Amino acid sequence: MSMDKNKELSTTQTPPPKKTGLLKQLFGNRNELDIYTEEQVQSPWRTVLRTFRSNKVSMSALIVFLIIVLIVFIGPLIRPVDLGYAEVTQVNLGPSREYMAVPDELLKDLNKMENGRSFGVGINNSGKVFIWGDTRITNRVNIRNVPDDLPPLVDIAVGDDHVLGLTKDGSLVAWGNDRQRQSRIPWELEDVEVVQIDANYQTSGILDAQGNTYLFGNVKNMDYVEFHEWQGKIKKIALSVDALVGLTNEGKIVYFGRQTNSYSRVPEGTFTDIAAASKAFAAVRDDGEIVVWGNLSYRGEGRVPEHESPAVQVEGGRYHFTARLEDGSVIAWGENTYKQSDVPAALNGKNVTYLSSNYYQNYAITDNNELVSWGLKGYLLGSDDLGRDIFIRLLNGGRMTITIGAVAVLIATFIGIVIGGLSGYFGGTLDLVLQRFSEVVASLPFLPFAMILNVIIGNTLSPSQRVYLMMVVLGLLSWTGLQRLVRAQVFSVREQEFVVAAKAMGIREGNIVFRHIIPNVISVIIVSTTLSFASSMLTESSLSFLGFGVQPPIPTWGNMLFGSNNSVVIQTFWWRWVFTSIILSITVISVNLIGDGLRDAIDPKSQER
């Protein structure tokens, strides 16, 4: 009988509880809630989290904000900003990724192709002209607007904003920007038999059949002697932005200027090819050695890589050179901002039969008619008034704006909690003094005071120090609202039982305030801080927009907009302000929506049972 009773008891015993993980212990498992779900007691933060997650608008805003934060903090590690970079040929270029979009039809019967600052021009063996890329120079000048009844061309030369062409009968045609007369053929060249043409920044160069050179365009910036002693003995020319170098019939290099400078110190020996970059020249000796001279800058134009095979051709870009070697391989060196000096792995083991380099673009065609191009494909969001990539500055500027806003909010939150907590707990004279001080700070006109303080102190600081000044100024002037909120919350909590118990236990009053009372009002502080974060970003952007915040070249979203506050930019170069305005607006709206969602989740009165 006892055995049956024990068996019956054993069958009615409750099975041991299943082991649960830490996350389930903290947040529970919705599927495990029994029929008394409504009556189960949940932790306040678990309820807040559940309510916030049910708010689709706030959750979407949180996801968007986190994506923006990840992009602007990880992006600069991949694409850092060069604070000293500026390039006159890349100024105010619109969004495009078509700088090297060579038409397939041209590759089937290629004769020659070159690149300007943001466009490419090529001709086939039939003399037909092909144009690609961002061809708009001004509102009235477009490279696609070729001259009417353009005859077939046998050669082309592309400058910064103009194109020079040579017809089959040896005559010249030109189109594009004519502000410096670089695309206006001089009348004295109408009867000249031209054999070579060249173009660079605002200038055009000509070599006739008798070995004479001619220049037209912005020749005032050129050190050029028209009646040079080597006129009539030249077989090839190379044109930089301010100098002309020729290769004589005997293979000697000569400089067509009168000044003694880095250009005039031409290398000795016999050469087979020459090329020009912006302010440097390169030449190939008859033994295949490459020699570089001129104004060699930090960009590395003079650092020719080692090569076993002799060079047979050299080409010059804006600040880099490329060379084709006897074995069909290609080398490149010089500035590498847009990877124009990184020869693609696709050319490894290939036999290159055609090579062209101009500005920041390179084209190589192999013996099986395969095109490999590398360099600047364009700007995703355009370029600014100094030729800087807006996308890169947007990434780095976002990191700076968000960091300034976050640090300023942390400073303001610390001050607000300390003053509000002490004032609300102790009251009396301390409360009176702290509140009067808070009213003095709150009565200061924020933007004018920040401007004055920035002007007085900021002029003696470096750009990086001004960033720290901006953080401190924003933090010191934006804590008054939070301290009033904390003071009111502490007033309502300080008479509760747990505070009385803490006093009875002899706990120090400072610990009571900051270890017991403040944690009980932390939810209100979080909401206020979140909303203040958005305000701090807007305030920083406003000060920078007005010219009193972080100064260029350090980018922030505010000073990026500051460079666009004129009617010409707003109407003509829309990309300089549209993208910055959009990302700033999305970020601020997202933070505000997150704050609203937290406020609704924390406030029990907003919950509907």
Q: What is the pLDDT of residues 509-532, one digit of tens each?
A: 778 888 888 887 887 888 888 888
Task: Report long-range pairs for 54-58 (Cβ below 8 Å, ≥24 apart).
Answer: 55/597, 55/600, 55/601, 57/593, 57/597, 58/593, 58/594, 58/596, 58/597, 58/598, 58/600
Closest by CA to 293, choosing from 358, 226, 245, is 245
Separation between Cα atoms, residue 278 and residue 316, nearest integer Å: 8
Convert the pLDDT of each residue in 132-187 to its tens digit: 999 999 889 999 999 988 999 999 999 999 999 999 888 899 999 999 999 999 98
Longest dimension (CA), the chain: 132
Cβ neighbourhood burial of 244 (10 Å; 0-12, 13-18, 19+): buried
Q: Determine whether domain 95-200 maps to CATH 2.130.10.30.
A: yes
What is the CATH T-level fold of the domain 222-375, as seen in this structure?
Methylamine Dehydrogenase; Chain H (2.130.10)
Convert the pLDDT of each residue in 420-460 to its tens digit: 999 988 888 999 999 999 999 888 877 787 777 767 776 67
Intervals of CATH 2.130.10.30 along the chain: 95-200, 222-375
pLDDT at 607 exceeding the cut of 60: no
Buried b (16+ CB within 10 A) or exposed e, 143-156: beebeeeeeebbbb
> In this predicted structure, what is the pLDDT of residue 450?
72
CATH of 397-606, one of 1.10.3720.10, 1.10.10.10, 2.40.50.140, 1.20.140.90: 1.10.3720.10
Q: Which residue has the higher pLDDT, 600 or 315?
A: 315
> In this predicted structure, what is the pLDDT of residue 35?
45
Are 189 and 204 within 8 A, CB to CB?
A: no
Are 255 and 237 within 8 A, CB to CB?
A: no
**Which parts of 9-152 are beta strand (E)?**
110-115, 119-124, 129-133
Intervals of CATH 1.10.3720.10 along the chain: 397-606
Q: Where do we find the tokens 């290769």?
A: 247
Confidence of residue 533 (pLDDT cuts 50, 70, 90): confident
How many other CB atoms sit within 10 Å of the CB of residue 268?
A: 9
Separation between Cα atoms, residue 282 and residue 289, nearest integer Å: 10
> In this predicted structure, what is the pLDDT of residue 606?
53
Confidence of residue 29 (pLDDT cuts 50, 70, 90): low
Confidence of residue 15 (pLDDT cuts 50, 70, 90): low
pTM given for the model? 0.83
- Sheet holding 129-133: strands in order across? 110-115, 119-124, 129-133
Convert the pLDDT of each residue in 579-595 to its tens digit: 999 999 999 999 999 98
Question: Rounded mean pLDDT of the chain?
Answer: 87
Separation between Cα atoms, residue 420 and residue 487, nearest integer Å: 4
